A and B are shown apart, each in its own frame.
Chain A
Amino acid sequence: MDQITQTPVLEQHKENVETKQERLSPINKRRWENFKRHRRGYWSLWIFSILFVLSLGAELVANNKPFFVSYDGKSYYPIFQFYPETTFGGDFETEANYRDPEVQRLIKEKNGYMVWPVIPFHYSTINYDVPTPAPSKPTWMYTEEECKVAVSKKLDAKSCRDLDQNWLGTDTAARDVTARMIYGFRISVVFGLTLTILSSIIGIAAGAVQGYFGGWVDLTFQRFIEIWTSIPTLYVLLIVAAVLPQGFFILLGILLLFSWTSLVGVVRAEFLRTRNFEYVQAARALGVSNSVLMYRHILPNAMVATLTFMPFILSGSVMTLTALDYLGYGLPPGSPSLGELLNQGRNNLQAPWLGITGFFTVAILLTLLIFIGEAIRDAFDPRKTFS
């Protein structure tokens, strides 16, 4: 008790004169502290960041080309450079297929060796040496009896363990599920992030204009949004899919047409509230123009509500992409996507590794995003106290 009563009271009345200027303003520092104190969200952020960074380098983790080839005393880096098969003494001018036993034999003959990524498959690599017809189960589940044929085809292989491992089995086209999962994770997150950022920019701009000007602008825009959001997105997608080729950017564009409305309401409300504050009046009295007023004076104060929403929009975008892929109206056929994996899992119940992998990847990804979102929401909540 003594210790408490000794402390000088009431910080706000102290004229503290130290003049250190910090990069983070104190309020942001407090938010970061609050975020860190939200253990679940903090760990989720770390796990998500690590997974995302790893998946960004997916070509180095899962690929059908080796990192490094030593051939005839010289070094080659097939992941980063194109080498025709003739480089290694083959017959064709096309790129060497390093998974081909023939190419492997040629390299080995000249005292060469290859260093492979952890998963020696690209998402599009078809494994022709699966022991049983595709979808084939994870390699480590096969008995020696079952993989005898596959072993005989592979250079220097003696048992099942020497085969290229499909850790999570293969899909219906004999492509490695692990590789497809990694690439699918990446495309989902990148798609989600791009969609979130683009729709946030449009949504914030639209909301800002409506809230700031109010009156007729607001009224007209609001009615327009009401009509716009009542257009069923899925049908539009079906129609567009029939006319335009499927592709990442076309899909992004169509979804963007409908997703930008999600932030408009929040931003509009914040602007409506803030535009009557005295500091906005004061800036207007200084002669500050409308656009500067919106961008420099009001927007920073409206960002808290916006940022709080973003993680949830991100998870929503990921979910939309997965759903569309599942229905077959998403990314072009052959793309590594989690939705397509789930669809295959549904069609091949005898191959549970497909469904299980798809389910857990989507579930973990969404859970991480939701946890991060919760932590951000709490960190920005001024009334939230952690004990």
Chain B
Amino acid sequence: MSGAALLEIKDFSVAFRQGERETLAVDRISFDIKKGETVAVVGESGSGKSVTGLSVLRLLPPSAHHPSGEVLFQGRDLLKLSEREMRGVRGNDITMVFQEPMTSLNPLHTIGQQILEMLEVHRGMRGEEARNRVIELLTEVGIPTPEERLGSYPHQLSGGQRQRVMIALALANEPELFIADEPTTALDVTVQAQILKLLKELQGRLGMAMLFITHDLNIVRKIADRVCVMKQGKIVEQGLVEEIFRNPQHPYTKALLAAEPKVQPAPPQPDAPMMISTDNLKVWYPIKRGLFKKTVGHIKAVDGVTLKVRRGETLGVVGESGSGKTTLGLALLRLISSDGPIVFLGKPIQGLKFKAMRPFRRDMQIVFQDPYGSLSPRMSITDIVSEGLRVHQPQMSAEERDQRAAAALKDVGLDPATRHRYPHEFSGGQRQRIAVARAMVLEPSFVVLDEPTSALDMLVQSQIVDLLRDLQKKRELTYLFISHDLRVVAALASHVMVMKNGKIVEQGPAEKLFKSPESDYTRALFAAAFSLEAAQAGAVSE
């Protein structure tokens, strides 16, 4: 069958019905996948790439329908198959791995049971034979000591291991086509590199075709043979990966390729006054056991962090998830309790009560990661932005507050005329701008940025990075920039601090640290982030 297409999508559209309204999510796209080939579909959120993947398996909700086109798999039109025939295709000929490994596995069954079920349903395998196959599969996807892991429940595995189990499930019946819908987006950079390596190896060994859906062009370059660039439901460009990267034709592809955030970090300010400093800061959560809740140990979320940030600098805090980055940020702002002195603008703020902290809150602000969760869905934008003014300048008239909110929105590049709308009417990037405006309206001097770009598309990411840099220059702001994405940190930070398990692994001026990292951990992080290379076993978590 080589040469002929395994999957052929011709003039294919998907529309969603909502009341009387029709929304077209995928607009007459055509592409094909040959046997043993990897095709990546790349685009920002809402471009219809996931919908395309789901509709190959006909997994869309009933409100979706197809105004045009066909999906030919080995010559059969999948759209015309009965639900019964479709079940034979799913999990057998075509399988899929989703983005979120936390929710894709049933928490009540052991992973062994879940893979066994797959084998039983599609192949009728039972008993010893099936068990051996499960162990073989788990070994194949790189789960250590698979015999012992058979009886584990999903919550006993890490995110990366869960995604490996999902891949084992998908491979159980040796599919012809494997669809991966952003399989690494929810994972740490280091784990992402490992999973990509695994997928690449498996594909080479099993000779299956792969449809890889992602928003990250670096992954595309690493893994795919051909790429389709999608925008607003249309494929704007497709072709061989090298060619598209070398010579993009469509302006959108060019913009995507140029979306890498500019590296222009704030210069270190060795003589500027100290903004915030800590000495041996600790956030320990006690583990209590027994009837009398005796403390038997501690979870050390932040363990002995000493840091100094001067006015006008940006301290980048990097590390894998669970390394205590976010906890550190919250502790600095005194939003959670901690031990050890915190000195802010020359005044000790450790141990102050909520009311006593209030005057300081004007000067210290935070921007959160999730632009969907950080804005109250029932407050208008102007209310959200001016909330800080209500607290800190209660004498201000409602009109004046509104004016200030409008000005703040203008500063972050939003049309002030839209300020009476509610958050759900804005896109992710716009919402993050609103969150920035809320922090900036009080004209703070110190802002904690907790992964402000992680939930955003590439193009929007670099816009937000530019915005943050401009604001910093204009207002002499000091940032504590928390991120697992080293490319963004490199673009902004004057100093970098690498954290692992609540402790500082390495700390220093950004330039020096990026050029010559000292610890293995830092090197592994950098390799994963900049070239998607998996590290030697042991240096990072699995």
**Chain A interfacial positions (CB closer than 8 Å to B):** 1, 4-5, 7, 9-13, 17, 19, 21, 25-27, 33, 277-279, 281-289, 292, 296-297, 300-301, 385-386
Among A7, A25, A286, point to the contact of B387 (Cβ < 8 A).
Answer: A286
Separation in Å of the B457 CB from the closest CB of chain A? Answer: 11
How many residues in B have their beta carbons less than 8 Å from beta carbons of A? Answer: 54
Given A9-B23, A11-B23, A286-B442, CB of A17 within 8 Å of CB of B391: no
Residues of chain B with a CB closer than 8 A to A286's CB: 361, 365, 387-388, 391-392, 438, 442
- Docked-complex contact B388 and A1, CB < 8 angstroms: no
| B84 contacts across to A, CB distance below 8 A | none
In the assembled complex, how far is the CB of residue B422 from the closest CB belonging to chain A, in whole angstroms? Answer: 6
- The residue in chain B whose Cβ has the minimal distance to the Cβ of A301 is B378
Known pairs A25-B422, A26-B422; A10 contacts B379 (CB<8 A):
no
The chain B residue with its CB closest to the CB of A6 is B24
Partner of B63, one of A7, A10, A11, A385: A385
Is the CB–CB distance between B68 and A9 below 8 Å?
no
In the complex, are the beta carbons of A287 and B28 less than 8 A apart? no
> B333 at interface (Cβ–Cβ under 8 A)?
yes
Query: B391 to A281, Cβ gap below 8 A?
Result: no
Chain A minimum-CB-distance residue to B62: A385
Complex contacts, A7 vs chain B, CB 8 Å: 22-24
The stretch among B119-127, B290-298, B369-377, B403-411 that forms the contact with chain A is B369-377
14 A–B contacts from the bound complex (CB under 8 Å): A5-B28, A9-B27, A10-B48, A10-B233, A33-B19, A277-B373, A281-B335, A281-B368, A283-B387, A286-B438, A287-B391, A287-B392, A297-B376, A300-B376
Whether A301 lies near B357 (C-beta < 8 A) is no
Let me know if A279 and B376 touch, CB within 8 A: yes
Tell me the bound Cα distance from A285 to B233 in angstroms: 39
A9-B27, A17-B417, A282-B368 known; A300 vs B13 contact (CB < 8 Å): no
Known: A1-B68, A4-B67. A9 touches B374 (CB 8 A): no
Chain B residues with Cβ under 8 A from A278's Cβ? 368-370, 373-374
8 Å CB interface, B20-62 against A: 22-25, 27-28, 46, 48
Q: Nearest 10 CB-CB pairs, A to B?
A: A287-B361, A278-B374, A300-B378, A286-B388, A287-B358, A278-B368, A278-B373, A19-B417, A279-B376, A9-B24
C-alpha spacing A33/B18, complex, angstroms: 13
Q: For B377, what are the chain A residues with a Cβ–Cβ distance below 8 Å?
A: 27, 301
List A contacts of B369 (CB < 8 A): 278
Q: What separation, in Å, do the CA atoms of A279 and B46 have in the docked complex?
A: 24
Give A386 to B330 CA distance when docked, in angstroms.
Answer: 44
Q: In the complex where A13-B232, A278-B374, A288-B387 touch, is A21 in contact with B420 (Cβ < 8 A)?
A: yes
Residues on the A chain within 8 Å of B361, using CB: 285-287
Q: CB-nearest residue of chain A relative to B359? A: A287
Residue among A10, A288, A385 with most chain B CB within 10 A:
A10
Among B431-465, those with CB < 8 Å from A are 435, 438, 442
Interface flag for B249 (CB, 8 Å) = no
Residue of B with least CB distance to A302: B378
Min CB distance B377 to A, Å, is: 7
Which of B48, B330, B369, B391 neighbours the largest number of chain A CB atoms within 10 Å of its CB? B391
Contact A285 B335 (CB under 8 A): yes
Asked if A5 contacts B366 (CB within 8 A), the reply is: no
A288 to B374, CA, bound (A): 15
